[in-house]
Amino acid sequence: MEPFAPLGRIVAVRGQKCGHSPGDNPSTDCQADATWHIMWNTEGDAGLACGPHMDEARRSLVFIDSHRVGPDCAMPGTLWDFDGQRCVYPEEPTVDNAAAEQAVTA
């Protein structure tokens, strides 16, 4: 266990707003804090939504997966955990190791 609270991550998440923006116009941006993280497609494009706009997305939009915004959702390099319904920050560079091994044998 880390003795200190991960303040950087908490602050980063606190600034996340719902990504709902009709017409992609800054004046119509939803000002609510995001509570849901949405993966829109298999390319990994992800977005953020508040509760009401998550409900709207469920009714009218196609998306791959969604989960409650967690402390690691805003971190660069996090991985979408479908089974765990969250984003996880890879503590070990296992992805890099796997890629390197593949490169050697290819």
Residues lying near Zn ion in the complex (CB under 5 A): 18, 20, 30, 32, 37, 50, 53, 73, 87
Judged by CB, which is closer to Zn ion: 3, or 15? 15
Name residue, tokens 């998306």.
Answer: 63
Task: Answer left, alpha or beta for residue 19, where phi above 0 means left and psi between -120 and 50 means alpha.
Answer: alpha
User: Nearest distance from residue 5's CB to Zn ion, in Å?
Assistant: 20
User: Nearest distance from residue 28's CB to Zn ion, in Å?
Assistant: 11
Judged by CB, which is closer to Zn ion: 87, or 102? 87
User: Nearest distance from residue 11's CB to Zn ion, in Å?
Assistant: 17
- The span from the CA of 106 to the CA of 23, in Å, is 46
Q: What is the DSSP string of 61-83?
A: ---SEEEE--TTTTSTT-EEETT
Judged by CB, which is closer to Zn ion: 89, or 104? 89
